[in-house]
Each structure stands twice: as structure tokens, then as C-alpha cells.
């Protein structure tokens, strides 16, 4: 089993967080393909990318609701990432994982539709 973060078993502190960051960077450097990266690490990378893009959009437009628009979409992306990594590793489709991903996708579609219906995806909407 891959140790993703030694800090998870310790008290949360700055040195522990630094050790966690070092572990994540080491995993990213030594992985030869996307499927070799543990899905929790690739989801962390996706989270950082999405947070950075949201921050840049907020800073450039002055509209702070960009993250609200992504609230129903990002959990769906994270769950599909778990399924994709399992598939890319050649693992058989786990029924529980597939059902969970489909339920999260259905939930995300419902939230996205309701938010769209209320005008939440208009560029100027706050």
C-alpha cells in the first residue's frame, strides 16, 4: 500500500503538512502514468487547479460566485476520476464503485440543472 501522507497519522502541524506535501510531490514525480497516481492525489491536483482557476476568475471579474457554479460539477469529476484510475490500472469494474459514481453523477446533474434553472450559470449572476 502506498503511503500518501505521513502527516495523516500525526497531529496536524506545519512540519506534518510539509511532510505531506513532500510525499505528494514524490508520488507525482515517480509515477509513470496517470493511472499509477493514487486517485486521492490526482483529485488533490484537480482540486488545486480548479481552486486556482476559480480564484483567478474571481480576481479578474470581481464576481465571487464562480466556485458556486462548480459546486455541483467537481464532486462528479472527482468520482469519475476514481473510476478512470481503476479502469486504467486494469482492475475489474467494482459494482459498488460504479453504483456510487452513477449516484454522484445523478446528484450532480440534479443540482446543476436546478442551479441553471434559477439562472446561476449566467456570467453576471452573483
Classify residue 79 by burial, with Cβ atoms within 10 Å: 0-12, 13-18, 19+. Answer: buried
Burial of 85 (0-12, 13-18, 19+ CB in 10 A): buried
Residue-wise pLDDT for 72-87, tens only, equals 899 999 999 989 988 8
**CA-to-CA distance for 2 and 67, rounded, in angstroms?**
32
Q: What is the pLDDT of residue 31?
A: 78
Give yes or no: residues 22 and 69 share one domain.
Answer: no
Report yes or no on 62 lying in a domain.
yes
Whether 97 is covered by a domain: the verdict is: yes
Pair 58, 108 in one domain:
yes
On whether residue 15 sits in a domain, the answer given is yes
Confidence at residue 7, expressed as pLDDT on a 0 to 100 scale: 46
As a whole number, mean pLDDT of residues 90-109 equals 91
pLDDT tens-digit profile of 11-53?
556 666 777 777 778 877 887 887 888 888 888 889 999 999 9
Tell me, yes or no, whether 106 lies in a domain.
yes
Quote the cell numbers at residue 111. Answer: 443540482
Domain that holds residue 16: 1-30
Same domain for 81 and 56: yes
Residue 122 lies in a domain: no
Structure confidence at residue 55 as a pLDDT band (50, 70, 90)? very high
Across the chain, mean pLDDT equals 82
- 28, with CB counted inside 10 A (0-12, 13-18, 19+), is middle
Number of domain units in the chain: 2
Spatial contact of 66 and 57, defined as CB atoms under 8 Å apart: yes
Q: Is the pLDDT of residue 9 over 60?
A: no
Amino acid at each position: 500500500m502506498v503511503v500518501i501522507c505521513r502527516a495523516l497519522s500525526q497531529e496536524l502541524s506545519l512540519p506534518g503538512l510539509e511532510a505531506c506535501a513532500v510525499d505528494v510531490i514524490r508520488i507525482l514525480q515517480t509515477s509513470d502514468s496517470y493511472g499509477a497516481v493514487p486517485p486521492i492525489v490526482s483529485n488533490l491536483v484537480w482540486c488545486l487547479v480548479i481552486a486556482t482557476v476559480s480564484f483567478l476568475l474571481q480576481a479578474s471579474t470581481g464576481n465571487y460566485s464562480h466556485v458556486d457554479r462548480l459546486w455541483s460539477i467537481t464532486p462528479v469529476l472527482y468520482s469519475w476520476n476514481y473510476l478512470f484510475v481503476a479502469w486504467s490500472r486494469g482492475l475489474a469494474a467494482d459494482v459498488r464503485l460504479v453504483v456510487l459514481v452513477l449516484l454522484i453523477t445523478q446528484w450532480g446533474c440534479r443540482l446543476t440543472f436546478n442551479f441553471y434553472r434559477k439562472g446561476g450559470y449566467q456570467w453576471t449572476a452573483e
